[in-house]
Structure 1
């Protein structure tokens, strides 16, 4: 049988999975996805059940793959479909379980339909054909790259959804001051003042790679990460074990900046590096400091990207507060295949209206960028 479902990525050799990856995007690597599973961050009672789909050749070697999860809720996806689920509940239609092709808890764009496009297309069609029989309401593919968009566009039954994030681009800056000089005077003064406020509190910063942190420091990183959720009354998605496993399996991709006051760590930001991009992912602080979030999560990352010649800094989802700090609007895409024809029709109408709003929002955001005109 050419299609296989994997409930544990560790059952497949890392080399076989990674051979299907088209780019240096760290979140798709076997090491990252398997660390989520092996640490208990997904699976178990998390509502994220690994169900990766593989398309095999005659010798049972993978030609294409979908990193996929059976979902019994919509937490941790960052493409929000709660209203669709609520409408289904009112109509007596089962929305969960659904199948999600995505990187858990990670709103970062990248390849989703892995492998050669012909095999990926056959795998995609085979998965959608079996949804109803498996009692699944649909297949959702979040934060796609252009290759996946090309494969999904015009495919029968698929609906496209747009979103907007804010990413920073390196325009050949020599240093942070060179970046500041590209901003309008008022915004330049604001950013400089924010950095001075942090420095004035006696806070300095220490960048580390994955192999340079001790287990005690990883305890601190996780405590900061978990606190970000707990102050909102939420449970953290990632377990403590995840960070140690990732540091063991792909330390070269990890970047952690520790904020210290009087030599004592008080905050951190966790990022990954892949190709020409820095991906800011997790932040946390165990006490309140004025403007420390902006410095740790944004200005430190910009500074790091310039110094290392990285071309892009993706600091995560949401946040108009990124806009005034030089992060530009970027359109993101996701795709949705819904089995129930009535639900598909209703969602198609909603997405048509939402699309116009997203594009208008991105245009307005572009006009508010802090860069000097001309």
Structure 2
């Protein structure tokens, strides 16, 4: 079936696109590609010129003016906050005399979570979005287009369109119809059960853990959460990506999706994490602490998330990127993806060779990690 004539438009703010139109084109319940989440990032200065994330969202409209597809898209002045690393590509290209930045990126900013990037239920429209983004890159002399953490189906469509395919891994916990945390522990080897029980016991003997949701979330909680995150970033990476205003506005807009886990020493909050619920998945995001307590990170970010998922019938916990230490705590390797269009063949060719080798290495590593590191009882 042939497509009608489509008009390509760029939007310097997602507010230019009606929220009901944007969200109506989504076929998932992922909170991070929603209009509310992306608009909140813009309105609270998390993305914009100062941060080096310039919104250039892409839309395709038919002859009636109806928007048939959209794509979150940013002109990037650097490669920070992406969690798919291309710094070495940029350095090599610039050493050879090329200009790598600015580049185009389709992603949920600062959020390494798989979700739809080509928002349309029509595969022909999705393919047209890919072509439009590639043309935008080439016609404006940009070095490259990157699409981070797309769905499996989108990734395949991007490969069919000629984009270079990249694969990585994250560690997710899957709910095998467990009735309780003890039920989950019963699926593990005896040694791992013992270790996890000890870790939880030690933290819970020192601190009081509380889950805070819905109308119980206050501005004081958000002040504390931001301070925890800021403290952790200061020690490890520098300033956090998300502003304090972001947490107030996203809670106003997504209160029913937000799960806070706080740790208290008496009446004093000393650690906290923010999670989001989307569909059948709990997504662990930022966390921080002002105290050093052994295993506190595991309890606040991993074990409490499992407890919540089991109690609420969720099928999965995605606890963020990296971290092979998650395997021994029941979080097993899962594939995540990105796709890349590089305009200059002098850079494209070596990157293509590298990605082929990298995909093979990632698949071998995933198989090895699950075979050798899985805490679950052998069948």
Aligned to 2:224, what secondary structure does the other structure show? helix
* 2:169 equivalent to 1:144: no
Could you give the per-residue CA deviations for residues 54-84 of structure 1, whole angstroms, max 9, x where no partner exists? 0012232211111011111100100000000
* 2:35 equivalent to 1:20: no
* 2:208 equivalent to 1:179: no
Whether the aligned pair in 2 keeps the contact of 1:181 and 1:188 (CA below 8 Å) is yes
- Aligned counterparts of 1:312 and 1:243: Cα–Cα separation in 2: 24
Structure 1: give runs of 5+ residues left out of the alignment: none
Aligned to 2:170, what secondary structure does the other structure show? strand
Pick one of 113, 116, 126 that aligns with 1:120.
Answer: 126
Mean Cα displacement is larger for which, 130-139 or 188-197? 130-139
Aligned to 1:159: 164
- Relative to the length of structure 1, the TM-score reads 0.97
- Aligned counterparts of 1:263 and 1:235: Cα–Cα separation in 2: 28
C-alpha deviation, 1:233, in angstroms: 4.5
Could you give the per-residue CA deviations for residues 149-178 of structure 1, whole angstroms, max 9, x where no partner exists? 23212223x100010110000001110001
Alignment RMSD: 1.1
- Aligned counterparts of 1:350 and 1:187: Cα–Cα separation in 2: 37
- Aligned counterparts of 1:353 and 1:265: Cα–Cα separation in 2: 46
Runs of 4+ residues over 6 Å off in structure 1: none
- Aligned counterparts of 1:355 and 1:80: Cα–Cα separation in 2: 14
- Relative to the length of structure 2, the TM-score reads 0.96
C-alpha deviation, 1:120, in angstroms: 1.9
Aligned to 1:196: 201
Aligned to 1:341: 345
Structure 2: give runs of 5+ residues left out of the alignment: 1-5
Whether the aligned pair in 2 keeps the contact of 1:267 and 1:283 (CA below 8 Å) is yes
Could you give the per-residue CA deviations for residues 314-367 of structure 1, whole angstroms, max 9, x where no partner exists? 000000110100101001111000000111101001111111111111011111
Whether the aligned pair in 1 keeps the contact of 2:171 and 2:323 (CA below 8 Å) is yes
Aligned to 2:260: 256
Pick one of 61, 79, 83 that aligns with 2:84.
Answer: 79
Mean Cα displacement is larger for which, 135-144 or 317-326? 135-144
Whether the aligned pair in 1 keeps the contact of 2:130 and 2:161 (CA below 8 Å) is no
- Aligned counterparts of 1:8 and 1:352: Cα–Cα separation in 2: 36
Could you give the per-residue CA deviations for residues 280-337 of structure 1, whole angstroms, max 9, x where no partner exists? 0011101211211110000000011001110000000000110100101001111000
* 1:32-43 correspondence runs (5 A): 32-43=37-48
Aligned to 1:256, what secondary structure does the other structure show? strand
Pick one of 301, 306, 328 that aligns with 1:302.
Answer: 306
* 1:4-19 correspondence runs (5 A): 4-19=9-24
